Amino acid sequence: NAGVTQTPKFRVLKTGQSMTLLCAQDMNHEYMYWYRQDPGMGLRLIHYSVGEGTTAKGEVPDGYNVSRLKKQNFLLGLESAAPSQTSVYFCASSYSISGAYNEQFFGPGTRLTVL
């Protein structure tokens, strides 16, 4: 099992450019998440999905869009990148058993710089 994978690992954008980050998981997890990690701020939830075809906003959704067309994939889009979106982005997946949630499994991260 590859677990959770993210593409790309690094990216440099100019202000106003767009891009899509891809997250894939092979654990058949229902729940998927996108976080950003900035120094001294821990992880902040951008968007999440509780199943194929569903998405919801997290703490910091502005400037981002997501889609989950297939259960194993969760895409994060930046339509018009801004320097404030320079960050490390982590994707995670999770599952529940009998309605109880469990730990998240994280991807390796994408380091994004917006100039």
Residues 10/108, Cβ–Cβ less than 8 Å: no
Interface with other proteins includes 50 (CB under 8 A)?
Answer: yes
State the Cα torsion 107-54-21-43 to the nearest 10°: -50
Among 42, 62, 69, 98, binds other proteins (CB under 8 A): 42
Q: One-letter amino acid identity for 19?
A: M
Q: Whole-number minimum distance, CB 50 to other proteins, in Å?
A: 5
The secondary structure of residue 85, as a DSSP letter, is G
Query: Looking at 40, 62, 69, 98, which residue binds other proteins (CB under 8 A)?
Result: 40
**Residues in contact with other proteins by the rule CB under 8 A:** 31, 33, 35, 40-45, 48, 50, 58, 90, 92, 94, 100-109
